Amino acid sequence: MTETQSTHMESKAYDVVVLGAGPVGENVADRTRAAGLSTAVVERELVGGECSYWACMPSKALLRPVLAQADARRLPGLSQSVQGPLDTDAVLARRNSFTSDWKDGSQVQWLERTGADLYRGHGRITGPRTVTVIRPDGGRQVLTARHAVAVCTGSRAKLPDLPGLAEVAPWTSREATSAQSAPGRLVVVGGGVVASEMACAWQALGSRVTVLVRGRSLLDRMEPFAGEMVAEGLAEAGADIRTGTSVKSVTRENGTVLVVTDGGDRIEADEILFATGREPRTDDIGLETIGLEPGSWLSVDDSLRVTGHDWLYGVGDVNHRALLTHQGKYQARIAGAAIVTRAAGESVRAEDWGAHAATADHAAVPQVIFTDPEAAAVGLSLAEAEQAGHRVRAVDVDLTSVSGALLHRDGYKGRARMVVDLEEEILRGLTLVGPGVGEVIHAATIAVTAQVPIGRLWHAVPSYPTISEVWLRLLEAYRDA
């Protein structure tokens, strides 16, 4: 079934009720249905969620032509053919195709094939194991869960508390990934992943981009050189990067945005994007009815069960562990397995969770920033490892020592850092910056997750000539240090 059509209050029982039909909710439902548990999924917007329509897919569709052109412009024999600007309309049309023009028919069909029931509308918890769905037609449907309710409602862009900001109609990540034309002038406020990627995309698509970063650098949660190199790439592309700068006020008059910084600078733009953090979509889902604070992040254990509620799960962004689609889907698989196991009457012990524990959330989270150059990291940075009390050594390698990188494009610039635990002789983290490094990071994810001894990594021979040969150079640098 795709929608409930009754106009009066109804009640229906399921084994599992899932709030949110994004990638996280879809994966929870897929796991519980595969085990034979009846499952209802509630969604107020589009099935497929933020990732499919306003985040991962459209943003990477925008960035792929940008990165391909950047590589091509640095390859003799090809460079002369790609010196002109990108065809912005064609790039945006291709991006639209990846979002299915913001229609969710194919995603609904996928969900139907799992056997889950979809309820369109706003779902609110109205008591233990109870969800009330307020449908678009005003009707209400009460759903009860025999075993579990999974909150998979994700997060939204968080806007700063600036007077009059609503009247300015600023862009958030949603507008930045769905805009149908390039603004002539774009101010980007923020220094994280969204700010960096969207500055890269729209600068290449014809906007004059100014990035205002409150901190000292972009990507300040990664190794310092990552943000420095990404900022250099943006500056070379023509963007104006201003660090140590905060927005004091912003207004819009006759279509023009006027930004005043704390340093007194006045910047005019056609649009302004605030990429200044995320907040959980838990403000209006009925948390107050079960003793939790509306709008709060949900505290969960490693099986994603909410603290103090043996029937409630908080999966994906709502638990604030790692606001990344792939980590949310990973958590969904863990939560699904835990729900199924508990539904069968089996205990899930902390010492024997195995497939029921989201251990990767603690020290093995991979991430790729699709800028020019790319930045990729997994595990702990040097500073994080030291703060955690590990005795570690950082090993740095210039990627120009790697033949595969030099073949990637002329004038290649890149750097890698490996953080090694000196007592356990295992890898705690790896950071790479350079064109094409995103495809290398999974090898590091396996090494960190499996705690592969450094001595064994010598026998994982990288193919020549590929960027993966950086592994050999890092090991040699560690040996010779």
Is 80 among the domain residues? no
Is 259 among the domain residues? yes
Residue 461's CATH number = 3.30.390.30
470, 389: one domain: yes
269, 329: one domain: no
Domain stops at, among 257, 277, 297:
277
Domain coverage including residue 132: 10-48+104-156+280-360
pLDDT band, residue 481 (cuts 50/70/90): confident
**Mean pLDDT taken over the chain:** 95
Is 330 among the domain residues? yes
147, 173: one domain: no
Is 4's pLDDT higher than 50?
no
232, 268: one domain: yes
Domain stops at, among 325, 360, 395:
360
243, 284: one domain: no
Is 112 among the domain residues? yes
381, 232: one domain: no
Average pLDDT over residues 325-333: 97
Q: Is the dihedral of CA 290, 296, 299, 305 positive or negative?
A: positive
Q: Is 330 helix (H, G, I), strand (E, B) or coil?
A: helix
8 Å CB contact between 343 and 313: no
- In this structure, the dihedral spanned by the alpha carbons of residues 252, 256, 262 and 264, taken in order and rounded to 10 degrees, is -120
Is 220 among the domain residues? yes
8 Å CB contact between 140 and 9: yes
- Which residues have CB under 8 Å from 455's CB, separation 6+? 425
pLDDT score recorded for residue 9: 66
Tell whether omega for the bond before 373 is within 30 degrees of 0, i.e. cis: yes
Is 350's pLDDT higher than 60?
no
Write the pLDDT tens digit of every residue in 98-150.
999 999 999 999 999 999 999 999 999 999 999 999 999 999 999 999 999 99
**Cα distance between residue 112 and residue 179, in whole Å:** 30
Is 76 among the domain residues? no
pLDDT score recorded for residue 475: 98
**What's the pTM value of the predicted model, to 2 decimals?**
0.94
146, 25: one domain: yes
124, 210: one domain: no
145, 290: one domain: yes
Give the number of domains in the chain.
3
Residue 235's CATH number = 3.50.50.60
Is 53 among the domain residues? no
Write the pLDDT tens digit of every residue in 146-197.
999 999 999 999 999 999 999 999 999 999 999 999 999 999 999 999 999 9
pLDDT band, residue 434 (cuts 50/70/90): very high
456, 468: one domain: yes
Phi (first) and psi of residue 343, to 5 degrees: -65, -30
Q: What is the DSSP string of 190-247?
A: --SHHHHHHHHHHHHTT-EEEEEESSSSSSTTS-HHHHHHHHHHHHHHT-EEEES--E
311, 390: one domain: no
Is 21 among the domain residues? yes
326, 430: one domain: no
Domain stops at, among 326, 360, 394:
360
pLDDT score recorded for residue 346: 74
